[in-house]
Amino acid sequence: MVEDIRLQHFRSYSDESFEFEPGVNIIVGPNAAGKTNLLEAIQIICLGSSYRASDTNLIQKNETWARVDAHTSFGPRTIKFTQPARPGGRIEKTLKIADKTQKILPHNKTIPVVLFEPNHLQLLTGPKELRRNFIDDLLEQTINSFGLLRRQYKRALAQRNALLKKGPDQAQQLFVWNVRLSEMGGEIANHREGLIKDLNRNIHKIYNDIAGTKNSVTIHYESTCAPNNYGSQLLKKLEAAESIDYQRGFTAYGPHRDDFVVGLNQSPAASTASRGEIRTLLLSLKLMELQIVEKVRSKKPILLLDDVFSELDGARRRALTEFLKDHQTFITTTDADIVIQHFMDKAHIIPITNQA
């Protein structure tokens, strides 16, 4: 857990300190007060980098450095960002953990974090790429070899697409990449199917605990290839579609085109669920991510929830905070009235006013 944090010349903070509790911490304040900046600083101290921006944007305007200090359950740590001495140079970042200075935070020194921020609201209703990235990002956290497999597949796909753009006279070379893509594609699809099976075991219970309902929630992997024979089917499809792929200039089949669909009461949630139900389904996916990462890392992840109270009724808000009480959680909200009425005795409240 993160026990406290000090921000100097970081984003909207000139010099500010905050103390946190092990359970639910609710950060409340008006828009543009710096609530999300505080979440970002917590993530940086845990993972060594920001989910929002490059290091250049973290230093307060007209300042030459920014610094984040924190005490954690794994010891004190400091991250400092310094403007380059010469124009156009790179920001210098130094990390100090347990009195040891280093340039990059090793994976075994990171504190696992699960983030839910406003951009994730498009996960169920937005482009397929968002859902593929969600699944693949989670697989990278839980399977050591998956990150390499993912990068190798992208490189092989880029090679095949480059050959397609050169025209049909590249057919002999194309065969090699058809085989390579089908082999790696089968591995990726199998890993995704396994993860979706894990998600399906508990997501309906988590959803109904938060929503106070008895709905059916399922996740289904969608592909033109059958999961039990994905690799060989993909190879056949790649070979059969070569002429069309040449015309298009890209590869039409493979895990880079697959999707997963969340169903609510046997109907696709993206087209039938209300905004509140969509928000609850997204929270359920994030809470499943929390459980899976905790199991693999043998550490309780910190949960960062940016503006999740919107469109959740009082019962769902209370159920959410009850569910999270055993994890250190940071929730931002602009609604002070909700906090006063329902959470003053159940969470640590961190009020934030507009930063100068």
Q: What is the pTM of this model?
A: 0.84
Query: Residue 13: its pLDDT value, please?
Result: 95
Q: Which of 104, 15, 37 is nearest to 332 (CA)?
A: 37
Give me the mean pLDDT over the 296-317 stretch: 84
Annotate 106-130 with b (16+ C-beta within 10 A) or e (fewer): eeebebbbbbbbeebbebbeeeeee
The DSSP code for 83 is -
Are 72 and 20 contacting, i.e. CB atoms less than 8 angstroms apart? no
- Are 242 and 174 in contact by the 8 Å Cβ rule? The answer is yes
Q: Where do the structural domains in the chain lie, given as residue ranges?
A: 2-112+305-351, 122-272
pLDDT of residue 87: 77
Tell me what pLDDT residue 171 has.
72
Each residue's pLDDT tens digit, 9-19:
999 999 999 99
Pick one of 3.40.50.10190, 3.40.50.300, 3.40.50.1100, 1.10.357.10 as the CATH number of 2-112+305-351.
Answer: 3.40.50.300
pLDDT at 311 over 70: no
| Chain-centroid distance, C-alpha 337 | 29
Mean pLDDT of the chain: 90
C-alpha count within 13 angstroms, C-beta hemisphere, residue 201: 9
Residue 355 has pLDDT above 70, yes or no: no
Task: Write the pLDDT tens digit of every residue in 40-83.
Answer: 999 999 988 888 888 888 999 889 999 999 999 989 999 999 99
In the three-class reduction of DSSP (H, G, I as helix; E, B as strand; rest coil), residue 174 is classed as helix
CB 319 within 8 Å of CB 212: yes
Q: Give CA–CA dist 94/57, Å, rounded.
A: 16
Strand partners, 2: 72
Total length of the chain: 356
Continuous segment of H or E residues that includes residue 295: helix 275-297
pLDDT digits (tens, 9 = 90+) for 106-147: 878 889 999 988 888 899 999 999 999 999 989 988 888 899
CA distance 171 to 168: 6
- Binned at pLDDT 50, 70 and 90, residue 168 comes out as confident
Whole-angstrom Cα distance, residue 70 to residue 3? 7
Which amino acid, 271? S
Query: Can you name the residues that pair with 72 across neighbouring β-strands?
Result: 2, 75
**Per-residue model confidence (pLDDT) at position 182:** 97
Fold of 122-272: Glutathione S-transferase Yfyf (Class Pi); Chain A, domain 2 (1.20.1050)
* Six token digits for residue 28: 């409340």
Strands, E assignment, the chain: 2-10, 13-19, 24-28, 65-72, 75-82, 92-97, 100-102, 113-116, 217-222, 259-264, 267-268, 302-306, 329-333, 348-351
